[in-house]
Amino acid sequence: MIKSKILMLLCSLVLITQLYADDEHNKESERIYKNLDYLQLNKQQEDEIKKILIASKKEFKHFYKEKQEAYKKLQQIMQKEYFDKNKYEDIAEDIAEEAIELEIDIFRKIHSILTPAQRERFSKYLMEWKIE
């Protein structure tokens, strides 16, 4: 169960990373808007969600750095003579928990901007927004 959650979180991070790629500013904006077209946002909503995603970029960079360090620790556990299941599990759970906290923060902010109908549409694409 936890392995599938971790895998799901990892896949989501890859998808989110594409939103935050350090390409030209216009390309980033187009990607964000294109991914939200199904919500039929008004201009104010688009601007607010764009600000949320751009502001979250710093948090994601910090998360990815910590995640990379955690994976180094996981590799060290794997290389040792004795596999410390508890230590591995603790590290993996910490990574997953931090991803969930980032996700909750972004979803809470987006939720406050969307109308009830838009929330319903957004919920159908929730898996695409999962952070891993």
How far apart are alpha carbons 63 and 18 in whole angstroms? 15
Mean pLDDT of the chain: 78
Given a contact cutoff of 8 angstroms between Cβ atoms, the answer to whether 132 and 11 are in contact is yes
pLDDT of amino acid 60: 86
pLDDT of amino acid 39: 87
Q: What is the pLDDT of residues 13-60, one digit of tens each?
A: 444 554 444 443 434 433 443 467 888 899 999 899 989 988 888 888
Q: What is the pLDDT confidence band of residue 127, given thresholds at 50, 70 and 90?
A: confident
Q: Count the Cβ atoms, other than its own, within 10 Å of residue 114.
A: 19
Kindly give, in sequence order, each residue whose CB lies less than 8 Å from that of residue 2, ignoring residues fewer than 6 positions away.
Answer: 89, 92, 93, 96
How far apart are alpha carbons 76 and 90 in whole angstroms? 14
Phi-psi region of 37 (alpha: psi -120 to 50; beta: other; left: phi over 0): alpha
67, two tokens: 């995640």
**What would the DSSP string read from start to end of the chain?**
-HHHHHHHHHHHHHHHHHHT--S-HHHHHHHHHHHTGGG---HHHHHHHHHHHHHHHHHHHHHHHHHHHHHHHHHHHHHSSS--HHHHHHHHHHHHHHHHHHHHHHHHHHHHHS-HHHHHHHHHTGGGG---
The domain of 90 spans 2-129
9: pLDDT strictly greater than 70:
no
Q: How many domains does the chain have?
A: 1
pTM over 0.75: no
